[in-house]
Copies of this chain bind each other. A is one copy, B any other.
């Protein structure tokens, strides 16, 4: 999508071999900075410390990270040992999003198909590009399927009234390679001339909604309003939300959805007020192993300082951190929660929209279910 009118992806290969370029998302929306990553260590840090974040984006970045791993391995004594160690290092950076492991495993499998380090390196580069391109293509397809959903809601509304869509966290293009998952239908509707207005959940503690979603919607000219995470229930109760669309970091083959902490609360409010609650995801986000998401999906606990402290733009123009809680008060920081399938109206995937139910998912992705 666009930054100051120029098209960008979130991660792409630099012109120089062995350089991966990313948008340093920690700096947004107050500064737009591109960062060069030149080693697997730098890629791992960028994922762990959230220079890049979001299911598809960290998958694609890890894919490129494996290309850097292959470069390193190709000049080492033991290609396989280096590759394995680097793969483990990348997988360990973030525990909840399944795309990370999926991308690393795909690279390992692709490289295992060929014999010589030089070939493996070529395969790794091509696979990294393919992962990124497929992510962008999947998100574009999600946009097209989700557009039909928005179009139907719009046709049922009085002329000219916008469709109000609530989203949580950032499942925008910044969370993928391009287009985004939850935002793809919004961008598609906006491009198709359907008036949309987005309620952007702030998304404490890291404020990905207030910082990233608001910024990217603004860059694309999509009307939006940032609200505290507490507000969604009230908005739905008052009929001010037509549709909720969120992303997901991992969705079980039974339809349970792990996403940014607080998503479950919005799903409960949507059900209580009969507001459709959709989750948008490329199929790389499915976990084909875990049956019970609440019991089975590991939930990342991050440092308490993300709750006790918050950074924003000071009037001096410097991004400045302030303390929010009294000295001596503990904080806890669960990064995700799991929304049970029963609360999800549907899943918007690159192949179309299906129910958040094992049977419906199996019909949409028969080959994945068969390979379990």
Contacts and interface: CB of A to CB of B under 8 A. Distances in A.
Interface string A319-341: 11111111011111110111000
A69 to B, nearest CB: 34
Nearest to A268: B268
A13 interface: no
Nearest to A202: B204
B307 A310 contact: no
A319 B320 CA distance: 12
A224 interface: yes
Given A268-B272, A272-B268, A322 B323 contact: no
Contacts of A260: 230
A109 interface: no
A210 B325 contact: yes
A203 B307 CA distance: 12
B334 A231 contact: yes
A326 B29 contact: yes
DSSP class of A's interface residues: helix, strand, loop or mixed?
mixed
Nearest to A328: B218
Nearest to A342: B272
Contact of A215 (B210, B321, B326): B326
A184 B2 CA distance: 53
B330 A225 contact: yes
A270 B227 CA distance: 23
A306 to B, nearest CB: 9
A228 B261 contact: yes
A325 B321 CA distance: 15
Interface string A198-234: 0010111101001100110110000011111111111
Contacts of A314: 320-323
Contacts of A237: 264, 294, 337-338
Given A224-B330, A312-B310, A230 B261 contact: yes
Interface residues of A, number: 65
A224 to B, nearest CB: 6
A299 B338 CA distance: 31
Contact of A310 (B226, B319, B322, B331): B322
Interface in A332-364: 332-334, 336-338
A329 B215 CA distance: 8
Nearest to A201: B230
A311 B307 contact: no
A307 B262 contact: no
A265 interface: yes
A110 B30 CA distance: 56
A130 interface: no
A312 B322 contact: yes
A234 B315 CA distance: 36
Contacts of A228: 204-205, 229, 261-262, 307, 333
11 contacts: A30-B323, A211-B326, A226-B325, A226-B330, A227-B334, A228-B262, A231-B332, A234-B337, A237-B337, A237-B338, A310-B324
Interface of A: 29-30, 200, 202-205, 207, 210-211, 214-215, 217-218, 224-235, 237, 260-262, 264-266, 268-269, 272, 294, 299, 307-315, 319-326, 328-334, 336-338
The 3 closest A-B pairs by CB, nearest first: A230-B262, A312-B322, A29-B326
Given A233-B265, A234-B336, A322-B322, 4 more contacts: A202-B204, A229-B230, A230-B261, A314-B321
